[in-house]
């Protein structure tokens, strides 16, 4: 599928074959201003080889959700509750030693900005080799040979020379490929990608996306891809979760969500794309800004920006309405908005 073709919380049912099962995940941050819930009742599942894209505006909770899955949030200032089950193991209850063995080996992450994720004082080869040695215990020579194989795998030109290069000596696209090589160094079963193409130009972005999709298929990894780019999601996703104000407001197959969105926010995001827009008209945009998570409005968090909002929406927070074979929508009027006649309707303030 390409973008050109796209005109309380109930738990998501897990199966025995699921690689990852997340149920009612919550993340609270504590600061001098008080306690803020930034992720609320997030539930989804992922099977081996599947790609889940998490979509949403900046501040919707996408990156925090990803980091919570690996318990990478700052201790003492954050609290993670709910259930995160990876291959049947409770990640949130793991002791520190077991968790350190999990990270980088069985679950790996591509961070948003490789220039800050890579250590500037070590060469690319050293950083890949360190990960291999840490999780496999092989010799340094074998680890460096593995590093060379990985640079070839991610199609970095002149890989022997790049092994000895420092991060600042590489272009943005090559740094991102090096970051991917680090994340794949131990053949993880689950890859978490936090907007890995955001800082890249369009040509390099396409190359990296094609590479990630090919590697994901070759290695059979489950992948969670965080992005705000609908075109990226249309190219790679099997499932899509749309986040707003810390909650998943729509969840389902990529085809269901992109071709027939049932939540006004998902509908507004699709209407905000360039694809299908007339040249002589302004791009439809969702008005207003996301709410302050420290002072959420009563009722539905999207109601102040929603053309379909009613008094019920402004008073009462919606529950989940099932959609499709496994998905759900967080909207009082989801059944009415599912009408094909309303697909693509512009979302404007009332």
When pLDDT is averaged across residues 262-275 and rounded to a whole number, the result is 83
Q: What is the pLDDT of residue 218?
A: 83
pLDDT over 90, % of the chain: 55
Helices (H), the chain: 62-69, 96-102, 114-117, 124-136, 140-153, 159-163, 172-183, 202-219, 230-236, 254-259, 264-271, 311-315, 334-337
Q: Of 248, 241, 258, give the one whose Cα is nearest residue 331.
A: 248
pLDDT digits (tens, 9 = 90+) for 37-57: 999 999 999 999 999 999 999
pLDDT, mean of residues 65-75? 94
Question: What average pLDDT does the chain have?
Answer: 86
pTM of the model: 0.85
Is the pLDDT confidence value at 24 over 70? yes
- Residue 280: per-residue pLDDT: 61
Q: How far apart are CA 139 and CA 127, in angstroms?
A: 14
Greater model confidence, 235 or 276: 235
User: Which pLDDT tens digit goes with each residue over 314-335?
Assistant: 999 999 899 888 899 999 988 8
């Amino acid at each position: 599928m390409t973008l050109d073709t796209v005109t309380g919380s109930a738990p998501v049912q897990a199966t025995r074959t699921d690689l990852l099962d997340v149920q009612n995940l919550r993340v609270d941050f504590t600061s001098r201003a008080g306690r803020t819930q930034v992720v609320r009742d997030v539930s989804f599942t992922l099977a081996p080889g599947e790609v889940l894209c998490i979509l949403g505006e900046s501040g919707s909770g996408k990156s925090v959700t990803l980091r919570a899955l690996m318990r990478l949030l700052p201790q003492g200032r954050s609290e993670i509750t709910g259930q995160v089950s990876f291959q049947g193991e409770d990640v949130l209850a793991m002791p520190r030693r077991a968790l350190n063995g999990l990270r980088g080996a069985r679950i790996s992450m591509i961070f948003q900005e490789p220039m800050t994720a890579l250590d500037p004082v070590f060469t690319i080869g050293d950083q890949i080799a360190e990960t291999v040695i840490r999780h496999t215990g092989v010799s340094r020579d074998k680890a460096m040979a593995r590093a060379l194989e990985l640079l070839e795998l991610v199609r970095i030109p002149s890989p022997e020379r790049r092994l000895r290069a420092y991060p600042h000596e590489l272009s943005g696209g090559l740094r991102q490929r090096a970051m991917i090589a680090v994340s794949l160094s131990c053949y993880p079963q689950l890859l978490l990608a936090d907007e890995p193409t955001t800082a890249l130009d369009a040509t390099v972005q396409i190359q990296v996306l094609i590479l990630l999709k090919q590697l994901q298929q070759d290695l059979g990894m489950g992948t969670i891809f965080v992005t705000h780019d609908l075109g990226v999601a249309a190219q790679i996703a099997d499932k899509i979760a749309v986040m707003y104000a810390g909650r998943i407001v729509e969840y389902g197959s990529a085809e269901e969500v992109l071709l027939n969105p049932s939540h006004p926010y998902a509908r507004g995001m699709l209407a905000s794309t360039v694809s299908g827009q007339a040249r002589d008209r302004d791009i439809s945009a969702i008005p207003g800004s996301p709410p302050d998570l420290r002072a959420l409005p009563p009722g539905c968090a999207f109601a102040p920006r929603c053309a379909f909002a009613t008094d019920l929406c402004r008073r009462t927070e919606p529950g989940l309405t099932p959609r499709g074979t496994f998905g759900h929508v967080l909207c009082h009027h989801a059944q009415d908005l599912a009408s094909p006649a309303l697909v693509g309707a512009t979302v404007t303030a009332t």
